[in-house]
Amino acid sequence: MKVAITGFGRIGKMFLKAAVQQGALGRDFDVVAINTRSAVDMHVHMFKYDSNYGRFSGTVEARNGNFVLNDHEIKWIRENDPLKLPWKELGIDLVLESTGEFTKREDAEKHLASGAGRVLISAPAKVDATIVPGVNDHKFEPSMKVLSLASCTTNCLAPVLKVLHNKFHIEHGFLSTIHAYTNDQRIADASHDDWRRARAGAMNIIPTTTGAAKAIGDVIPELAGKMDGIAFRVPVSVGSINDVVCTVQKATTASEVNSELKRASQEELKGILSYTEEPLVSRDIVGTTYSSIVDGSLTRVIEKLVKVSSWYDNEFGYANRLVDFVRKLSKL
């Protein structure tokens, strides 16, 4: 299967690195093109030297104006208009849309008009289906052409809620995500549509919005309209934690909640959900590949009120789910 990446920022780069780490590149699918706005030389340098994850262990270079990864040459394109992209000429089966700009269905469909077989958006979007691996994989049908893998935060939240709802029946819930800063913030105070995100990201705790909780209804329909949430962007570059508080139908205990989450992490959600009771901090989970790492030592319960905290690498964990899903598509 031939894949093109459009948008080679944090998600695009982490997807490619995760594909290498999983051994999927060249075996399950090939990345044959990367489309982004800036020069290949700069991206080669940023791929090789990463502030969050250190130096890339393989080889990467610019050659003939293209991006060469472990001696595999990937065509480099700099085109802002999706309708002008050479997807038909290159035989592209799937576009990973990770620009963050083409999240509306009508915009994503421009990749189809350019000849791509399918589009996978690495952000929340109103599409044929929003899939969170391990939670609603059954919703995918091969006829679907425009798909979303939701967000890193939804991928962390949904497995936890699925387990809680199946066992304890959630009535309502509220999410607080304590999230690393991202490129949609300012390094120093500067203008932004969100006045709080306009403030220096490495100096402030910044309350802002998250669509992750409300998006749960797209993934677990029984919870539609029952969840809400808020984000607090904090001065770390990667590594986040979700704190979700739910009311459930019957009184329970922290021991019962942890037991069920631990069981699921070893059975149906193995590889997606993890469970720990070690006294971790955010840096400890950087580079992990799980969607969600439940911190059992932080679980609290008062009768029907349940509080669960789960860590996530908001870059690499999510990138691994993208690779997992693309590998699944390659087997169709």
Q: List all residues 6 or more positions away from 99 whose beta carbon is below 8 Å from its beta carbon.
A: 6, 7, 9
Which comes out higher in pLDDT, residue 10 or 211? 10
Average pLDDT over residues 231-252: 98
| Residue that is written with structure tokens 């006829």 in the block | 143
Q: Pick the catalytic residue: 3, 32, 152, 175?
A: 152
Q: Is 156 a catalytic residue?
A: no
Q: What is the pLDDT of residues 137-184, one digit of tens each?
A: 999 999 999 999 999 999 999 999 999 999 999 999 999 999 999 999
As a whole-number percent, the residues of the chain with pLDDT over 70 amount to: 100
What are the distances in angstroms from CA 219 to CA 161, 191, 312? 10, 34, 19
Verdict on whether the full-model pTM lies above 0.85: yes
Task: Specify whether the CB–CB gap between 208 and 196 falls below 8 A.
Answer: yes
Q: What is the pLDDT of residues 179-236, one digit of tens each?
A: 999 999 999 999 999 999 999 999 999 999 998 988 999 999 999 999 999 999 999 9
Determine the pLDDT at residue 97. 98
Average pLDDT over residues 54-58: 97
Determine the pLDDT at residue 214. 84
C-alpha torsion angle, residues 209, 195, 52, 279 (rounded to 10): -50
- Report how far residue 71's alpha carbon sits from residue 12's, in angstroms, rounded to the nearest whole number: 19
Average pLDDT over residues 287-303: 99
